A and B are shown apart, each in its own frame.
Chain A
Amino acid sequence: MKYIFLFVSIFLTMASSWSQDFEIKGTVKDATLNDFLPGVNVVVRNQTRGTTTDFDGNFTIDKIKVGDVLVISYLGYTTKEITIKNSDFLTIMLTEDVSALSEVVVVGYGTQTKKEITGAVSVVDAQTIEELNPTRIEQALQGQVAGVQITPESGSPGSGSSIRIRGISTNGDARPLILVDGNVIEDLSVINPGDIESINVLKDATAGIYGVRAANGVILITTKTGKRNTDLKFSYDMFGGFQQTSRKIPVLNATEYALITNEAFAAGGQAIPFPDVSRLGEGTNWQDEVFQNAPIINHNLTLSGGTEKSSYSFGTSLLTQDGIVGGSKANFKRYTTRVNFDTNLLDNLVLTTNLIYTGTNNKNLNEGGLGSVLFNAVNNAPTFNVREANGQFSLAEGLGNEVINPIAQIADTYNTTVVNKIMGKIGLKYSFLNDFSAESNFQFNYAEVQGRNFQPTLFYGSGKVFNNPGRNVLTVNKDIFRDYTWDNFLNYNKTIGDNHNVSATLGMSVFQTTGLFSGGNQGFFETPIDFANARIEDTVDQRNELQLSGRANQFDERLLSYFTRLQYNYKGKYLISGVLRRDGSTKFGPDNRFGFFPSGSIGWVVSDESFLADNSTINFLKLRASYGILGNDRIPSNGFRGVLGGEAAYVFNNQLNVSGRAVGVLPNPQIQWEQQETLNIGFDLKLFDNKIDITADYFTKTTNELLLQPPASGILGVAAPGSQPPVVNAGTVENEGVEFAIGYKNYVSDDFDFNINYNVTFLENRVLSVNNGTGFVAGGGFGVGQDLPARFEEGQPIGYFFGLQTDGIFQNQAEIEDHATQLNAAPGDIRFVDTNNDGEITPEDRVAIGNPIPAATMGLNFSFNYKNWDFNTYAFASIGNEIVRNYERVQPLVNRSVYTLNRWVGEGTSNTVPRVTTGATLNNQFSDYFIEDGSFVRLQSLQLGYSFPTGLSERFGVSKLRLYTSVNNLFTLTKYRGFDPNVTSGSPVGSGIDGGVYPVPRTYLLGINLKF
């Protein structure tokens, strides 16, 4: 009877529900905190309608039938599905998704949840960025993401970093593709890190959706947006502090210098330059003179909110930073203003817009090698005062033609580079026919770069190459860069039955970048003038080389792409995905202009299988594999055709005629894109209540048809002014590696939780072939006038060091006589190894003596929260890379590093540091004597914060008030003797050669985060 009643009542209910729709109301709350959740998506499954919760977490949906399923989803929470049984008020508790598997990851022309991802994709979120206080966005990636190596190109304000994803796959331009909200950004200095919501790095074939630009990896940056149905929120973040040098290279003081210099002159049979050393004392420490504490300050104001139909976000920031060398003479300023706005024009039509304005103003000093301020500070003699008694700067007489007084150099440097840039996006997304959506996004960049440089008449000493005995020169230039990307694509998402999830993307994209160069307008002032008032209009004898020559002052590069992606999964357990992209690039000739780039990936969520379903240890396990063919077209334009861009100038009638025409880069009609085969196998694992999170990947990347510009035969005229060898496809490089990341987080109590994350990348780089006649390409530079020290050669890593091998120091004449013939050898000189056993030390004895690529890089992050205190520290390390010491100018009278104190001065005194002499020796030939271990561990960040209790701060209308102090780059453990082991020249062949790099400063900061 009871059953009959039940049956009947159900039947009646159902019947009534068939016959009538009803309205349903509910509220959504956080299961843990019991707070109302605004902005939660509530949609009716298999229908394209739904709503979001209001400020109080309430929602109303009409036309509901019994049996309808409501899908309630909210970022960071586990999605819940509720089958409607009646029209009762619903109270839905959402639990925070501790596994974050539902986190949405941007993968290019769409998103996927973390669970669905079948490739190697890493994410850095806004919180990490906040904790690191980066002034540039690259700094937030440093050591955070396995497989991504960030190396600063300098520590000076505003300078960039080299970004390498999974090794160096080309000896050409190895920069990844970087998209900010779909907009191509080549120069990250214009991005305010405070505007960034997340950074996603596509490391494997997942990047294949970007086809011919994907081979160096893709970084997708998303800016902050508002949330629907939220009140207007302000946040203000500020940090300020000072920077100081992280290291000074110990050099000789005046007395030591004079004694050792005398010794060198005596050994060379010359009169000693300092007959009386008794009154020299310590002398001038040029590095103390050059380095200073420099302020840095950053303000960032964000406001955001949203209504039911729209959301908005606005941000503005100001960064100003002086240099630890040159102070305000090396200042970098950045102003940014950003607006993001999106709105539902219709229920199913969303307009998304953003606009970012950036202005930067940068002043530069000569840095990074021979002639740089720091090079001069290391090499200038300590016996000179900064200024002479008459107040004039001292002249660095006798120190060769390149070493000058660095303080005078700073004082005489006048330049500014001003960048004004606007980046924007307009996008429309239209959803239709339940399962389809169409998107059209237009992104653009417009930048004006204006440079001003003033060179007064200068005299640094006789014969100095930096002298300007002529006239006061002002040079101004203005270049304009424009580009746009227009993406149009169609998405299809459908769940067929309960188990088959299909999605498909089909789209196209056009990209065009153009530029217009003014050339340098140069003019002269007959009398010195204040730089601030120097206007080109007031100069005489104005000249513009580019305009005079009549050569092209523009470029126009384009890309036309079609792409499709198909994804299928069965119950979210077996995942498969395929991508095909066709790209057409203006970089290549008619025969090779278009290419197809296929890639695919599979995944298996093992933990969803029944045998692991209730496993108490393993919460989640996914196995992944991907394979694809990606391209790289980062080469200069017009490589396939001969273009008359060379230099052709001669003198007729005693007038320079610059109107000549000659071929520039030699053409190679056959060039095509680099083709990279990339394979990735990995797994994601979560253990012990999701406390431990492990991701591991093994990868190989083989780049074929490597685009090189190797030296070409001179008979082709390649050495003509303005000419260059053709770009050819002439090599194969392989990168093989393993990435491993492990995280542990423990929510011990409401008062205490902590987090540890560690990642490591092992990488091996090998050049498999170089087909250019010589079998190698040389690069880099060592000393003055020496052979190129780095090579790109078969069987070796890219950019390995090539030079003589040493075997200690000759202790006596007998050892010299027993050894292979070595020119000018005397006791105390370096003993070189006769590697080819021909009885003579010659350039033929050069071998591989070092590798600039680290064998392993790693990062470690530890943070905890205790009551109102938070602590965060972060370190990274690089193991196994070598650095060439090239900041010493070999000149009889320049200063030397303190290790010279341990030189050879007689039999048995040293077997590592050779004697000093001004005579001819081979000691300064490039050899492993100049190669040092560049491994290091750096404590990059240490931060301690205190958040005022909510009740206290709310009394002042503030929802959050946090104060913190932090130190960046506190210390570095390394054996390397130069300024900084973690700075690179950026170019693959020639990296790791240290010409006196500008060290990354140590920074002490105080900061405040305010939300109201």
Chain B
Amino acid sequence: MINKNMKIKYSLFAVIALIFTNSCSDEFVNVASFDENSEEFFNSKEDYDAALVGAYDLLQSTYLNVMLGEIASDNTLAGGESATDVPGIQEVDDMTHTPLNEDLRNIFNWMFAGVNRANYILEFKDKTDFPGKEGVIAEATFLRAYYYFELVKWFGDVPLAVDTRLLFGDQDIVERTPKAEVYAQIEIDLQFAAANLPYVQTETGRVTKGAAQALLGKAYLFQNKFTEAAVVLDDLIANGPHDLLTDYTTMFENDNENNIESVFEVQYIDVEGAGFGCLQCSEGNVAVGFNGIRNYTGPLFDSGFSFNIPTQKVVDAFEVGDGRKDVAILDINAWANENAGVSFVEGFEHTGFYNRKYIARQGDSNIGDANLTNPNNYRAIRFADVLLMAAEAHNRKPASDDARARGYINRVRDRAFGDTDHQLSVSGAALTDAIANERQLELVGEGHRFFDLVRTGRAAQEIPGFTTGKNEVFPIPSIEIELAGNRWNQNPGY
């Protein structure tokens, strides 16, 4: 008995001694994460590709920039269910938005999320080499420029980070960078991207040289650098693979995505579900469901939330014979009369019109929430836009070339009317106005109008409630000022 006792005693002591010394050193609580560690990534081409997908991802969140940009303009009203349906959207429509606006905060945050994901790649761009790396870096560079361009358009001066992420703690240090410096970086990035990207990618959806040139041209235009804009846009028009689509009526249909006119297109798809908790997570075009016809049943279209309602003013702006009108504007009452079984509910600020380019259509897989997973791509930069930008650049540059400008705008008008009888022959300021007008009609519903009005100084005359000296940019969300240590000045007037 004693022997057994001793044995047990000693083995217990041995076990305890073992536990206290060897088996559980402090290393026991040093465990690697199962997902890759962000600082130990970029060891292969696949790693760079994977991070690049992440940088592209935020393009899908620009649905809000498009929708809200359109609503901010004189083209459309907020709509929705009631005066309090998404207050942030209603306020922007009425130009009563304040620094508390949640939707503006979303744009601010989502675009910076894109900037950070692009900068993540660029911060580690020298870590691992592989064939074709310039292309990856060029794509990331383009994306950073795209997101920054959105940020300066909306908010003016914003913190600029180049080839480095803004990490936790930096929010207490960084300042708002003057708009001009941000534009300078956008130009550098897009020049780099244009130089390192092909006109045709092996995968549709990836940015191309054309996209970089078009965006560069647009960035010049926004700074009134018309000569530079003309050069790069001419190059794209002459040497790029793009042309106008013959049939404007098919332009915005889901089965005509990435067509010849698409210089840059944000890609959406309907294979993954989505919820209101994370709209930026949706792989679908959220704006399409928001723009859709309220409680609609009937052919062709699907129901939606009746936001982004075209005004009578923009409907009336179309000339007789302009084929673009029926593509851009759905007259829901006429549609209901022409088609059997159509029913719908009138939402807030109902005008009888819907933004037909981007409203929900039947035929997608309707994965839940069907309103948030519409697959229709956003044609971000169309060749028609490029032509009109080039026309404006030639018209407004110091040594103006109105003939060339007319050539470009008339290509667009010929397609719109299906004949050459509506060509313009004006010059100078009249041509400038004509181009601006053409931009409204060609691009209505696509989110460009507000910024075009602002950069050409015509916003106050066209947009009810617009205050000059204030509404050219939107307020920095006040909570973002607070979260960055309460050091930034608010934009004037807010």
Binding site for B on A (CB under 8 A): 346, 348-349, 397-398, 400-401, 428, 430, 432, 438, 440, 455, 461-463, 465-471, 488, 490, 508, 510, 543, 545, 551-560, 584-586, 590, 593-594, 637-638, 641-657, 659-664, 666-668, 711-723, 726, 728, 772-775, 785-787, 824, 843, 918, 920, 924
Contact of A660 among B50, B102, B114 (CB under 8 A): B50
- Contact in complex: B24, A642 (CB < 8 Å): no
Distance to closest chain B CB from A472 (angstroms): 12
The answer to whether B84 touches A785 (Cβ under 8 A) is yes
Asked if B28 CB lies within 8 Å of chain A CBs, one says: yes
- Distance in angstroms between the alpha carbons of A490 and B12 in the assembled complex: 11
Q: What are 19 A-B pairs with beta-carbon distances under 8 A? A: A346-B4, A346-B5, A398-B345, A400-B81, A555-B34, A642-B38, A647-B281, A648-B51, A650-B57, A659-B49, A660-B51, A660-B57, A662-B54, A662-B120, A666-B167, A719-B113, A720-B280, A721-B57, A824-B83
Q: Say whether B296 contacts A643, CB under 8 Å.
A: no
Contact between A661 and B47 (Cβ–Cβ < 8 Å)?
A: yes
Measured between beta carbons, the chain B residues less than 8 angstroms from A785 are 84-87
- Give bound CA distance, A248 to B383, whole Å: 62
Contact A716 B84 (CB under 8 A): no
Chain A residues near B19: list those with CB within 8 A: 488, 508
Within 8 A of A (CB), among B56-96: 56-60, 81-87
Name the A residues within 8 Å of B203 (CB-CB): 652-653
Cβ-defined contact, A468 with B479, below 8 A: no
Q: Could you tell me if A438 and B16 are in contact, using CB atoms closer than 8 angstroms? A: yes
Shortest beta-carbon distance, A838 to chain B, in Å?
Answer: 13
Q: Among the listed B82, B109, B368, which residue makes an inter-chain contact with A714, where contact means beta carbons less than 8 Å apart?
A: B109
**Chain B: minimal CB distance from A640 (Å):** 10
Partner of B9, one of A432, A488, A642, A711: A432
Q: In this assembly, does B30 line the interface, its C-beta being within 8 Å of a C-beta of chain A?
A: yes
A469, A650, A663: the one within 8 Å of B267 (CB): A650
Contact between B483 and A772 (Cβ–Cβ < 8 Å)?
yes
Instruction: Please measure, in the bound complex, the distance between the C-alpha atom of A29 and the C-alpha atom of B12, giving whole angstroms.
Output: 38
Q: Which 6 A-B pairs have the closest CB atoms?
A: A660-B53, A717-B116, A642-B38, A648-B54, A714-B109, A662-B54
The contact of B368 among A432, A468, A720, by CB within 8 Å, is: A468
Q: Are A715 and B57 in contact (CB under 8 A)?
A: no
Q: Which residues from chain A contact B60 at a C-beta distance below 8 Å?
A: 650
Q: How many A-B pairs fall under 8 Å by CB?
A: 281
With beta carbons under 8 angstroms apart, the residue of A398, A553, A643, A651 that contacts B283 is: A651
Q: B168-185: which have CB < 8 Å to A?
A: 168, 170-171, 174
Instruction: Report A-chain residues with C-beta under 8 Å of the C-beta of B166.
Output: 715-717
Q: Are A584 and B26 in contact (CB under 8 A)?
A: yes
Q: Are A650 and B304 in contact (CB under 8 A)?
A: no
In the complex, the answer to whether A348 meets B52 with C-beta atoms within 8 Å is no
| B168–A668 touching, CB < 8 Å | yes
- Of all chain A residues, the one with the shortest Cβ separation from B373 is A470
* Residue pair A650, B117 in contact (C-beta under 8 Å): no
Confirm or deny: B15 has a beta carbon within 8 angstroms of a beta carbon on chain A: yes
> How distant is the Cα of A488 from the Cα of B13 in the complex, in angstroms?
11
Contacts of B86 in A (CB 8 A): 785
Would B295 and A585 count as touching, CB distance under 8 A? Answer: no
Given that A647-B281, A719-B113 are contacting pairs, would A438 and B35 also be in contact in the complex, using a CB cutoff of 8 Å?
A: no
Cα separation A785 to B113 with both chains bound (whole Å) = 23
Contact B108 A647 (CB under 8 A): no
Q: Which residue of A lies closest to B304 (CB)?
A: A463
For residue B203, which residue of chain A has the nearest CB? A652
Q: Are A584 and B29 in contact (CB under 8 A)?
A: yes
Instruction: Tell me if B205 and A652 are in contact (CB < 8 A).
Output: yes
Expressed in whole angstroms, the Cα–Cα distance for A652 and B39 within the complex equals 27
Cα distance, A468 to B371, chains bound together (Å): 11
* Cβ contacts B111-124/A at 8 Å (1 or 0 each): 01111110010000
Which B residue's beta carbon lies closest to that of A348?
B5
- Contact between A656 and B269, CB atoms less than 8 A apart: yes
Specify which of A462, A584, A643 lies most central, judged by the most chain B CB atoms within 10 Å of its CB: A462
- In the complex, which residue of chain A has the Cβ closest to the Cβ of B171? A713
Q: Which residues of B contact A718 (CB under 8 A)?
A: 109, 113
Distance to closest chain B CB from A108 (angstroms):
18
Residues of chain B within 8 A of A664, CB atoms compared: 35
Chain B residues within an 8 Å CB radius of A650: 53, 56-57, 59-60, 205, 267
A423 to B258, CA, bound (A): 57
Interface residues of B in 377-421 (CB under 8 A from A): none
B272 at the binding interface (Cβ < 8 Å)? yes
When distances are taken between beta carbons in the complex, the residues of chain B under 8 Å from A397 are: 295
Which residues of A are found within 8 Å of B272, using beta-carbon distances? 545, 649, 656
Q: Which residues of B contact A773 (CB under 8 A)?
A: 171, 482-486
Contacting residue for B29 out of A552, A585, A721, CB 8 A: A585
A560 and B485 contact, Cβ closer than 8 Å, known pairs A470-B370, A555-B34, A649-B272: no
Asked whether A711 lies within 8 Å of B268 as measured between CB atoms, the reply is no
Q: Give chain B interface residues in 277-306, CB to chain A under 8 Å.
A: 278, 280-281, 283, 294-297, 303-305
| Shortest distance between the CB of A753 and any CB in chain B (Å) | 48
Which A residues touch B33, using CB under 8 A? 552, 637-638, 641, 643
Within 8 A of A (CB), among B25-45: 26, 28-31, 33-39, 41
Q: How far is the CB of B231 from chain A (nearest CB, A)?
A: 31
Expressed in whole angstroms, the Cα–Cα distance for A660 and B267 within the complex equals 15
Q: Within 8 Å CB of A654, what residues of B?
A: 204-205, 257-258, 267, 269
- Cα distance A664–B57 when bound, in Å? 14
Identify which of B38, B159, B257 gathers the most chain A CB atoms within 10 Å of its CB.
B38
Picked from B9, B34, B294, B480, the residue with its CB within 8 Å of the CB of A713 is B480
Q: Check if A716 sits within 8 Å of B51, measured CB to CB.
A: no
B36: which of A545, A644, A652 is its contact (CB, 8 Å)?
A644
Q: Does B105 contact A (CB under 8 A)?
A: yes
A811 to B18, CA, bound (A): 81
- B281–A721 CB distance below 8 A: yes
Give the distance in Å from the alpha carbon of A842 to the alpha carbon of B165 in the complex.
37
* B20 lies within 8 A of chain A by Cβ: yes
Contact assessment for B53 and A659 in the assembled complex, using a CB-CB cutoff below 8 Å? yes
A715 CA to B477 CA in the complex, in Å?
A: 12
Q: Please tell me which one of the listed residues A462, A555, A638, A661 contacts residue B296 in the complex, with CB atoms under 8 A apart.
A: A462
B369 at interface (Cβ–Cβ under 8 A)? yes
Give the chain B neighbours of A824 by CB distance below 8 A: 83
Whole-angstrom distance between the Cβ of B84 and the nearest chain A Cβ: 7
- Give the CA-CA distance A684 to B98 in the complex, in Å: 59
- Residue with the highest number of chain B CB atoms closer than 10 Å, among A654, A667, A924: A654
A918 to chain B, nearest CB (A): 8
Contacts of B56 in A (CB 8 A): 650, 660
Q: Are B168 and A716 in contact (CB under 8 A)?
A: yes
Instruction: Tell me the smallest distance from the CB of B363 to a CB of chain A, in Å.
Output: 11
| Contact between A469 and B204, CB atoms less than 8 A apart | no
Q: Are B26 and A594 in contact (CB under 8 A)?
A: yes
B108 proximity list for chain A (CB < 8 A): 714
Which of chain A's residues have a CB closer than 8 A to the CB of B367? 470
Q: Besides the contacts A462-B296, A463-B305, A786-B87, what 7 more A-B pairs have beta carbons closer than 8 Å?
A: A346-B4, A346-B5, A430-B9, A656-B272, A714-B113, A716-B171, A717-B165
- A residues near B5, Cβ cutoff 8 Å: 346, 348
Q: Are B109 and A662 in contact (CB under 8 A)?
A: no
Query: Is B317 among interface residues, defined by CB-CB distance under 8 A?
Result: no
Which residues on A sit within 8 Å (CB–CB) of B480? 713-715
B370 lies within 8 A of A920 (CB)? no
Name which residue of chain B comes closest to A270, CB basis.
Answer: B346
B35 touches A651 (CB 8 A): no
Contact B28 A662 (CB under 8 A): no
**Nearest chain B CB to A165 CB, angstrom units:** 26
Which residues on the A side are within 8 Å of B57 (C-beta)? 647-650, 660, 662, 720-721
Q: Is there an interface contact between A719 and B280, defined as CB atoms closer than 8 Å?
A: yes
Distance (whole angstroms) from the CB of A322 to the closest CB of chain B: 28
Residues of A within 8 A of B303 (CB): 462-463
Residue B249 lies at the interface, judged by CB distance under 8 Å to chain A: no
Q: Which residues of A contact B41 (CB under 8 A)?
A: 644, 661
B206 at the A/B interface (Cβ < 8 Å)? yes
Q: Which of B53, B84, B482 contacts A657 (CB 8 A)?
A: B53
